[in-house]
Amino acid sequence: MADVLSQSEVESLLAALEPGDATGAAKESDYAARVSIYDFKRPERVSKEQMEAFQTLHEGFSRELSAALSAMLRNICEVKLLSVDQLTYSEFVFSLEDPTCFILVDSKGLAGKIILDLNPSIVFPIVDRLLGASRESQGASSVQRPLTQIEVRLATRVTDLILEALSNAWAEICDLQLKVVQIESNPQLVQIVPPNEVVVLISFEITFGESRGILNLCIPFNTIESKASKLTSTSWGSHEKRELDDAQKTNLNASLTMANVELNVEIAETELSTADIMNLEVGDIIMTEAPAELGASIKISGRPMFRGMPGVYRGKKAIRITEMLESPAQALGLEPKSDDSP
């Protein structure tokens, strides 16, 4: 005979079967977590690993550009990476302000063209600074007009810094060989790829004083498709230490032994007045406090490494090494110095 359920057990079962119960909600949330939206009209041509590589690559670019802009403007300028996205070229163009500073750049290394877009809210404060404006006069007021010819020439100085930092960041991928081709105020006048072509959009925020603006770097996918295999964390972004094999050690040792270094011999040090130096003649004796038996200090690239005694060898001035002050391994920090070493 089947077991008879008690009233409390029946109520527990009914409560578990009610709509909106915890078990059903959990199952529904688990199912929703496994579903991701994918638009077949806009396929994602750039993989997730490549997007991460873009982010790592341009974080270094933002740091270098921050230092370069701060040095040029003589004021703290911060460049921060905001996002790395892939979208269509038409979406990128229609998202920009009009007017703006739209710069078309040719890249021989990528066999195509890329786009730099500088927001007017940061271009005009930088131009004012280059024209001699004080820090107090650099407000956050927005100016909605195209750049004049003089302002374009000044903005080119900023563009040159951006291209240099970008070339350095991409040096491990390829030699970009960047060159500015065209500067426009209306982004819709420039069409470098079809409207539905996928592009990688890398956005940065530039902060200069009280002013903030966006720097957009637009790279069409067809220009980087040939370099896609190099845009992985395993090919260039690895910072792990690797042991050298015997062939690499042999090549490294051979290269180092052929390197030229500067060798200087310092016999003694003393101080003379300008009048004494002007009155020096051939045969004069200069007194020093260094004892003669101490010998001369032999410096390698400005670092004292040996002591020796000066003399003549085969009719030429020479010096005989009498003491080693520091071994090459100690100079490189590969082994600790001894207690009696200077």
pLDDT at 18 over 80: no
Q: How confident is the model at residue 324 (pLDDT cuts 50, 70, 90)?
A: confident
What are 269-283's pLDDT values in tens digits? Answer: 888 888 888 888 888
What are 110-155's pLDDT values in tens digits? Answer: 878 899 998 888 888 888 888 877 654 554 455 678 888 888 888 8
Q: What is the rounded distance in angstroms from the CA atom of residue 182 to the CA atom of residue 142?
A: 24
Measuring CA to CA, which residue among 315, 340, 311, 310 is closest to residue 326? 340
- Are 212 and 142 a contacting pair, CB within 8 Å? no
- Are 183 and 100 a contacting pair, CB within 8 Å? no
CATH 3.40.1550.10 domain locations along the chain: 48-230
Average pLDDT of 227-251?
Answer: 63
Highest mean pLDDT among 74-78, 102-106, 252-256: 102-106
Q: Which residues make beta-bridge pairs with 43?
A: none
Residue 216: predicted pLDDT: 92
Residue 142: predicted pLDDT: 59
Q: What is the rounded distance in angstroms from the CA atom of residue 188 to the CA atom of residue 261?
A: 57
- Burial-class residue 48 by CB neighbours within 10 Å (0-12, 13-18, 19+): exposed
> 335 is written with which tokens?
């082994």
Residue 32: predicted pLDDT: 55
Q: What is the rounded distance in angstroms from the CA atom of residue 235 to the CA atom of residue 172?
A: 10
> 44 is written with which tokens?
């994602």
Evaluate the omega torsion of the peptide bond into residue 120 and state whether it is cis, within 30 degrees of 0.
no
Measuring CA to CA, which residue among 111, 76, 304, 308 is closest to residue 211? 76
pLDDT at 243 over 70: no
Q: What is the rounded distance in angstroms from the CA atom of residue 60 to the CA atom of residue 169?
A: 7
The CA–CA distances, whole Å, from 200 to 46, 109, 214 equal 8, 17, 16
What are 198-214's pLDDT values in tens digits? Answer: 888 999 999 888 888 88
Q: What is the rounded distance in angstroms from the CA atom of residue 215 to the CA atom of residue 122?
A: 9
Q: What is the rounded distance in angstroms from the CA atom of residue 63 to the CA atom of residue 81?
A: 9
CATH fold for the domain made of 48-230: Chemotaxis protein chec (3.40.1550)
Reduce the DSSP state of residue 283 to 3 states and report it.
coil
